[in-house]
Amino acid sequence: MKEKLLTLDGLDGYQFEELIAKIMKKKGMSNIKITKKSRDVGKDIIMEDSEDNLVLVECKHQNFVGRPIIQKLQGAINHEEQRNQNRNVRGIIVTSGNFSKEALEYNEEIGQNIELIDGTKLKEICKELKLVILNGKVQVLINESFKNISKNQSKDLINKNYSKIYWSKEHKPNIKSNFEFIPVCYIKYLVKFDTNTSVGCIDSYSSSGEIAVDGVTGNELNNEVKDFFFSSKIDIEQIKDEYGDKKIPFEFTENDIEERAINSIIEEHTHSIGYTGNNNVSYVKECIPKRRDIDIKKFVPIYLPYWDNNLIIKKMRYNQKFYVKGSNQFYTNDHLLICKICEKEKSEYEDMNVCPDCGRIVCNRHRKIDYFDKETPICTLHAKPFKLWLQNRYFAKIENRNEYKRLWESKNLLERLYEDKIVLTLIVIFIILSIILISS
Ligand SMILES: [Zn+2]
Ligand SMILES: [Zn+2]
């Protein structure tokens, strides 16, 4: 297996802290808070471990960490222990470099209440967590997708839809089926913040939400697609090795995706509040959440199976694209429902017809039924007309037209009159009008 990378080039101290916070979250820590930059009180991050202990973390993005850093964190631990009498407090120091011999000895002396993580160990932790860090950013490398279907199942689906189209049984289509895994990240979050003015707190805002970000474009996923996948149980499976090349790689790192999500969240939860100032004047204040007001509760990178089926009937091509979640599909593209003549989209396959001459799938307005056999459909481009006096009759087959022509020619005047409904109607109208005129 390829060596996992841990490059931290170009990170400043704060970015290093953010990265460590991310790694800690993946290690199962909760309530992670990065303390304010300005107040260096011997702890950069405060969090809780799975046993509910309070954990103070000091991050040092430097080559060498000496004894004073340990002393300082020990001081912070003592302070926290006094503040929280009933809680255990422990510490961690993380560095991208090494600890001095003196520091290691001192830590031994004070009883190893503080865990020391140097650059090498940090690398091992990342390896265990299957994290690839490149220039301080967490790369998204996952192998999970929603439950997919097989190629045959996909073909069965298109056949099932196609079979509902009128006259489709006469024309077996040629189907090519392919799929890709689309990378996305699903994020669940909480936003909580107060807005203060000179008259005090005017708004206590608290809300939760979810967002899905496309791993290729970085844009928010279409809401319908998001709901299709994430509004009910997430049914996950591992992508088999043989389908590895179907995965479209994430173009964005976890950091970038989170960044984009946070920007959208800020935009979505910004709102205005009206209040009255001490001088009795009304104001409107814009309440904007800050990054630290947003708590990312869930960050799930996952692949969405997306099928691209092509179907050929005679020389006509049709495309169907749909997402798959187990036994459900969400169609984004369905040419079988679009009339090849007027290009209008219908909602039911039952409203469509296949032309046996050209393979066009057309709506009922653009198909004729053979007047002689009363069943064969034909598109309006290929319907074979036969003109009576004023009315046209249409045929799918030339032999049916000839047969009908013979019949027409054998009819007497009255029978022909009865057959040509337009002429018949005109005559009836003429007679009625004449009667009205005469009687008046
Ligand atoms: Zn049409
Ligand atoms: Zn046709």
What DSSP string runs through 393-428?
A: EEESSHHHHHHHHHHHHHS-HHHHHHH-HHHHHHHH
Sort strands 89-95 and 114-117 into parallel, antiparallel or unpaired.
Answer: parallel
Note the ligand closest to the C-alpha atom of 379: 2
Ligand 1 centroid to residue 335 C-alpha, Å: 13
38-52 per-residue burial string, b: 16 or more CB within 10 A, e: under 16: eeeebbbbbbebeee
Q: What is the residue extent of each domain of the chain?
A: 13-138, 161-308, 345-440
Note the ligand closest to the C-alpha atom of 394: 2
Torsion angle, CA of 109/115/116/122, rounded to 10 degrees? 160
Rounded CA-CA distance 268/270 in Å is 6
Query: Residue by residue, what is the 3-state secondary structure of 28-81?
Result: CCEEEEECCCCCCCCCCEEEECCCCCEEEEEEECCCEECHHHHHHHHHHHHHHH
pLDDT tens for the chain, 440 residues long, are 444 457 777 788 888 998 999 899 888 898 888 887 655 667 889 999 999 899 999 999 888 999 999 999 999 999 988 988 888 999 999 999 999 999 999 999 888 689 999 999 998 998 888 888 887 788 888 899 999 999 999 999 999 999 999 999 988 899 999 999 999 999 999 999 999 988 999 999 999 999 999 999 999 999 999 999 999 888 899 999 999 999 999 999 988 999 999 999 999 999 999 999 889 999 999 999 998 899 888 889 999 999 999 999 999 999 999 999 999 999 999 999 999 999 999 999 999 999 999 999 999 999 999 999 999 999 999 999 999 989 899 999 999 999 999 999 999 988 988 889 899 999 999 999 999 999 88
Q: Name residues whose C-beta falls within 8 Å of residue 60's C-beta, 6 or more positions apart in sequence.
A: 69, 93, 94, 95, 96, 97
Q: Which fold has domain 13-138?
A: Trna Endonuclease; Chain: A, domain 1 (3.40.1350)
DSSP 287-319: E---GGGEEEEEEEEEEEEEEEEEEEETTEEEE
424 alpha carbon, distance to own chain's centre: 60
Phi, psi of 220 (to 5 degrees): -65, 140
Ligand 2 centroid to residue 339 C-alpha, Å: 12
Looking at residue 38, its pLDDT comes to 55
Rounded CA-CA distance 166/168 in Å is 6
Copy the structure tokens of residue 381.
């481009």
Amino acid at 132: V
Rounded CA-CA distance 70/393 in Å is 97
Looking at residue 191, its pLDDT comes to 96
Ligand 2 centroid to residue 405 C-alpha, Å: 22
Note the ligand closest to the C-alpha atom of 343: 1
Ligand 2 centroid to residue 361 C-alpha, Å: 8
403 in Cβ contact with 412 (< 8 Å): no
Note the ligand closest to the C-alpha atom of 360: 2
Ligand 2 centroid to residue 331 C-alpha, Å: 26
Amino acid at 137: K
Ligand 1 centroid to residue 342 C-alpha, Å: 4
H or E element: which one contains 21? helix 13-26
Ligand 1 centroid to residue 159 C-alpha, Å: 22
Note the ligand closest to the C-alpha atom of 381: 2
Q: Name residues whose C-beta falls within 8 Å of residue 334's C-beta, 6 or more positions apart in sequence.
A: 161, 320, 321, 322
Note the ligand closest to the C-alpha atom of 377: 2
Ligand 1 centroid to residue 341 C-alpha, Å: 5
Ligand 1 centroid to residue 420 C-alpha, Å: 26
326 in Cβ contact with 141 (< 8 Å): no
Ligand 2 centroid to residue 177 C-alpha, Å: 25
Ligand 2 centroid to residue 348 C-alpha, Å: 20
Torsion angle, CA of 224/226/227/230, rounded to 10 degrees? 160
Helices (H), 84-205: 101-109, 119-128, 151-163
Note the ligand closest to the C-alpha atom of 376: 2
Looking at residue 5, its pLDDT comes to 57
**β-bridge partners, 311:** 175, 318
Ligand 1 centroid to residue 343 C-alpha, Å: 6
Note the ligand closest to the C-alpha atom of 338: 1
Rounded CA-CA distance 186/397 in Å is 56
Ligand 1 centroid to residue 379 C-alpha, Å: 9
67 in Cβ contact with 73 (< 8 Å): no
Rounded CA-CA distance 134/5 in Å is 6
**β-bridge partners, 313:** 316
Copy the structure tokens of residue 110.
């004070």
Note the ligand closest to the C-alpha atom of 342: 1
Looking at residue 3, its pLDDT comes to 47
Ligand 1 centroid to residue 361 C-alpha, Å: 9
Residues in the chain, total: 440
Looking at residue 440, its pLDDT comes to 80
Ligand 2 centroid to residue 335 C-alpha, Å: 16
Ligand 1 centroid to residue 383 C-alpha, Å: 14
H or E element: which one contains 429? helix 421-439
Per DSSP, 247 falls in state B
Radius of gyration over alpha carbons of the chain, in Å? Answer: 36
Q: Is 107 exposed, middle or buried (0-12, 13-18, 19+ CB in 10 A)?
A: buried
Ligand 1 centroid to residue 221 C-alpha, Å: 32
**β-bridge partners, 352:** 363
Note the ligand closest to the C-alpha atom of 313: 2
- Among candidate residues 340, 372, 370, the one with its CA nearest the CA of residue 354: 340
Ligand 1 centroid to residue 377 C-alpha, Å: 14
Note the ligand closest to the C-alpha atom of 384: 2
Q: Name residues whose C-beta falls within 8 Å of residue 177's C-beta, 6 or more positions apart in sequence.
A: 151, 154, 155, 158, 307, 308, 309, 310
Rounded CA-CA distance 259/28 in Å is 21
Ligand 1 centroid to residue 352 C-alpha, Å: 9
